[in-house]
């Protein structure tokens, strides 16, 4: 039901069929908006927005999760060394079977299985907190953190001791030599622990020995893991002050079971070399810059368009996440050159046109006479034909050899990598096709054009030093192969060519990169 009102009818009658003349430019804008190029650009902009949004949507939580996962380095290490468990188990099994291949100190490894089990169970029971959660020091080996003498281990515990001889893994210098001793069913003082000890070394602190966690014991089995990375330790003051608070690193319970790694069979190298291919697409803006009077006319004539780039890149990524790479690329930049030459009528082209020149003259018959004579004269005049408006149109293509030096920081979260990057790029023009202006309208001879690869234009195309920033999202296809993709923005920082006239192009870039990583986890060398 429509409840009409006189006011409604008044306005409907007055306005429904009213007309107003829109500006003519509206139609031009409608046509432009419906053009193929505009739709493509709009589509690209939409894709840009979608990709950026997706990148932020995916990357931010992953990065956040990655930062949080740093709080549990041991768990992360155990997760990143999936092959360690079977290796460790096989080693343990071999040790249990008295495998002589383990070396002369194998006796220290050949703990009776039941003894190991009972020790751990006992330790776990001994160190359970009030909430029943086993404390991280479940193996409960009270020993000094750094000064573990040969006879200092297992003095008040039953059997298993993992002592750190000269251990100071709180230091973060890498590579760090960690030495562990494992003493078996030796009675305290019954023999030299050195003889029975199996010494292993690890070159990385990223796989932290459990001894580090075991190094201190809380009286009540409660504790707090403080810090992150290699700085984890138990704060005794905190333990005593807050016996009810227990904060465990994630999956710490995996350390408390019997098959905890006595020695780290794998270590992460400090860094890994990689080699990759990369490709990109650029949407260029900008133009020419400098003090030359030709700048304005050249900018009006030349409209920069899209380009592409492809090449190889190699680099190294460190454990800290930082990555440095150097590459070699071939890049292509396109522009449309459209110039309406005003022409120069004074120039001698060798051609003439004949113009009929007519003149009316009124002359007095005599100086003081009022009588006049009208004369109509006509003449045929030869006029030289000068250069008239010429329209130059060309599709310019510039080819560059790029040497990008890039620094990036990578945060790996499972198979994904989130990598903001900064790079410097040296670009050398190795090819130029098309047309450019040699002179503008300001010179007497008028504007003249020359081929873009004319030597007279060489000075303009010096080396370009550009900078770019971007953000990549990577995905590990396999353990060694990663695919990165992401947006960036590039701009020319300086040019080493003619300062008066040099290209200054900038624009957005979408880049993809396929990387093969050479260095992975390495098997630790046995002593």
Number of residues near another protein (by CB under 8 A):
27
Give the range of 16-24, 97-105, 418-426, 470-478 binding another protein by CB under 8 A. 16-24
Cα→Cα distances 9→12, 15, 16, 17, 169, Å: 5, 10, 10, 13, 87
Which of 338, 349, 341 has the alpha carbon at shortest distance from 441? 341
Give the range of 29-37, 49-57, 169-177, 246-254 binding another protein by CB under 8 A. 29-37
Rounded to a whole number of angstroms, the minimum distance from the CB of residue 56 to another protein is: 22
Alpha carbons within 13 A on the beta-carbon side of 494: 1
Alpha carbons within 13 A on the beta-carbon side of 179: 12
Q: Give the whole-angstrom CA distance, residue 143 versus residue 215.
A: 6
Q: Do residues 525 and 263 lie in contact, with contact meaning Cβ atoms separated by under 8 Å?
A: no
Rounded to a whole number of angstroms, the minimum distance from the CB of residue 230 to another protein is: 51
Give the range of 10-18, 346-354, 437-445, 479-487 binding another protein by CB under 8 A. 10-18
Rounded to a whole number of angstroms, the minimum distance from the CB of residue 54 to another protein is: 23
Rounded to a whole number of angstroms, the minimum distance from the CB of residue 41 to another protein is: 14
Of 26, 366, 380, 382, which lies in the binding site for another protein, with binding defined by CB under 8 A?
A: 26
Smaller CB distance to another protein: residue 22 or 104? 22
> HEC states along 208-231?
CCHHHHHCCCCCCCCCEEECCHHH
Smaller CB distance to another protein: residue 22 or 367? 22
**Exposure of 257 by Cβ count < 10 A (0-12 exposed, 13-18 middle, 19+ buried)?**
exposed
If one asks whether residue 244 binds another protein (CB under 8 A), the answer comes out as: no
Smaller CB distance to another protein: residue 6 or 132? 6
Smaller CB distance to another protein: residue 22 or 455? 22
Smaller CB distance to another protein: residue 6 or 350? 6
If one asks whether residue 30 binds another protein (CB under 8 A), the answer comes out as: yes
Rounded to a whole number of angstroms, the minimum distance from the CB of residue 303 to another protein is: 24
Of 27, 64, 322, 496, which lies in the binding site for another protein, with binding defined by CB under 8 A?
A: 27
If one asks whether residue 20 binds another protein (CB under 8 A), the answer comes out as: yes
Q: Which residues fall within 8 angstroms of residue 471, CB to CB, at 6 or more apart?
A: 55, 59, 418, 419, 420, 421, 486, 487, 488
Q: What is the DSSP letter of 135?
A: P
The sheet with strand 161-164 has its strands ordered as: 161-164, 178-183, 200-202
Rounded to a whole number of angstroms, the minimum distance from the CB of residue 225 to another protein is: 49
DSSP 470-526: EEEEEEESSSSEEEEEEEEEEEEEEESS-TTSEEEEEEEEEEEEEEEE----EEPPP
Smaller CB distance to another protein: residue 21 or 366? 21
Residues 155-184 that bind another protein (CB under 8 A): none
Of 23, 104, 350, 455, which lies in the binding site for another protein, with binding defined by CB under 8 A?
A: 23
Q: Do residues 427 and 504 lie in contact, with contact meaning Cβ atoms separated by under 8 Å?
A: no
If one asks whether residue 366 binds another protein (CB under 8 A), the answer comes out as: no
Rounded to a whole number of angstroms, the minimum distance from the CB of residue 14 to another protein is: 4
Which of 106, 194, 210 has the alpha carbon at shortest distance from 151? 194
Q: What is the DSSP letter of 244?
A: T
Of 11, 53, 322, 496, which lies in the binding site for another protein, with binding defined by CB under 8 A?
A: 11
Smaller CB distance to another protein: residue 33 or 395? 33
If one asks whether residue 395 binds another protein (CB under 8 A), the answer comes out as: no
Q: Give the whole-angstrom CA distance, residue 15 versus residue 17.
A: 6
Rounded to a whole number of angstroms, the minimum distance from the CB of residue 21 to another protein is: 6
Residues 31-90 that bind another protein (CB under 8 A): 31, 33-34
Rounded to a whole number of angstroms, the minimum distance from the CB of residue 16 to another protein is: 6
Cα→Cα distances 388→294, 342, 348, 380, Å: 20, 7, 11, 22
Rounded to a whole number of angstroms, the minimum distance from the CB of residue 50 to another protein is: 18
Q: What is the largest CA-CA distance in the chain?
A: 154
Q: Label the pairing between strands 372-384 and 416-433.
A: unpaired
Query: Which chain residues interact with another protein by CB under 8 A?
Result: 1-2, 5-12, 14-23, 26-27, 29-31, 33-34
């Amino acid at each position: 039901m429509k409840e009409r009102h006189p006011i409604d009818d008044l306005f409907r009658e007055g306005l429904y069929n009213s007309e107003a003349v829109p500006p003519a430019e509206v139609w031009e804008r409608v046509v432009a908006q419906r053009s193929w190029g505009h739709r493509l650009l709009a589509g690209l902009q939409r894709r840009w927005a979608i990709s950026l949004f997706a990148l932020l949507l995916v990357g931010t939580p992953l990065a956040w999760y990655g930062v949080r996962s740093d709080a549990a380095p041991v768990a992360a290490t155990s997760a990143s060394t999936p092959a360690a468990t079977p290796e460790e188990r096989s080693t343990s099994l071999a040790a249990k079977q008295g495998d002589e291949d383990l070396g002369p100190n194998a006796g220290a490894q050949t703990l009776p299985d039941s003894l190991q089990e009972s020790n751990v169970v006992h330790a776990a029971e001994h160190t359970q907190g009030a909430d029943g959660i086993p404390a991280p020091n479940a193996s409960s080996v009270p020993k000094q953190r750094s000064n573990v003498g040969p006879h200092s281990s297992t003095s008040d515990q039953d059997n298993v001791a993992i002592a750190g001889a000269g251990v100071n893994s709180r230091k973060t210098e890498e590579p760090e030599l960690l030495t562990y001793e494992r003493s078996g069913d030796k009675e305290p003082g019954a023999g030299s622990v050195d003889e029975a000890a199996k010494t292993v070394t690890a070159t990385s602190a990223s796989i932290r020995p459990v001894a580090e966690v075991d190094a201190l014991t809380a009286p009540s089995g409660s504790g707090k893991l403080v810090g992150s990375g290699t700085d984890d330790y138990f704060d005794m003051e905190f333990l005593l002050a807050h016996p009810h608070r227990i904060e465990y690193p994630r999956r710490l319970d995996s350390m408390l079971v019997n098959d905890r790694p006595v020695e780290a069979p794998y270590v992460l190298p400090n860094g890994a070399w990689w080699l990759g291919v990369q490709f990109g697409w650029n949407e260029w803006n900008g133009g020419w810059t400098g003090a030359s009077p030709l700048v304005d006319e050249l900018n009006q004539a030349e409209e920069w368009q899209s380009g592409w780039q492809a090449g190889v890149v190699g680099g190294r990524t460190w454990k800290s996440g930082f990555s440095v790479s150097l590459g070699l690329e071939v890049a292509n930049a396109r522009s449309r050159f459209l110039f309406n030459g005003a022409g120069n009528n004074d120039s001698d082209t060798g051609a003439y046109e004949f113009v009929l020149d007519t003149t009316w003259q009124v002359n007095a018959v005599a100086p003081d006479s009022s009588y006049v004579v009208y004369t109509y004269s006509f003449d045929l005049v030869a006029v030289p034909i000068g250069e008239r408006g010429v329209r130059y149109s060309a599709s310019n293509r510039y080819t560059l050899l790029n040497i990008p030096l890039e620094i990036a920081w990578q945060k790996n979260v499972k198979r994904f990598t989130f990598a903001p990057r900064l790079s410097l790029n040296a670009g050398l023009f190795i090819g130029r096709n098309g047309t450019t202006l040699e002179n503008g309208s300001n010179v007497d001879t008028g504007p003249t054009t020359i081929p873009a690869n004319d030597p007279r234009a060489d000075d303009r195309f010096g080396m370009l030093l550009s900078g770019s920033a971007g953000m990549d999202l990577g995905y590990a296809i396999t353990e060694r192969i990663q695919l990165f993709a992401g947006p960036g923005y590039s701009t020319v920082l300086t040019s080493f060519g003619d300062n008066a006239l040099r290209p200054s192009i900038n624009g957005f870039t979408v880049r993809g990169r396929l990387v093969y990583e050479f260095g992975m986890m390495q098997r630790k060398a046995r002593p």
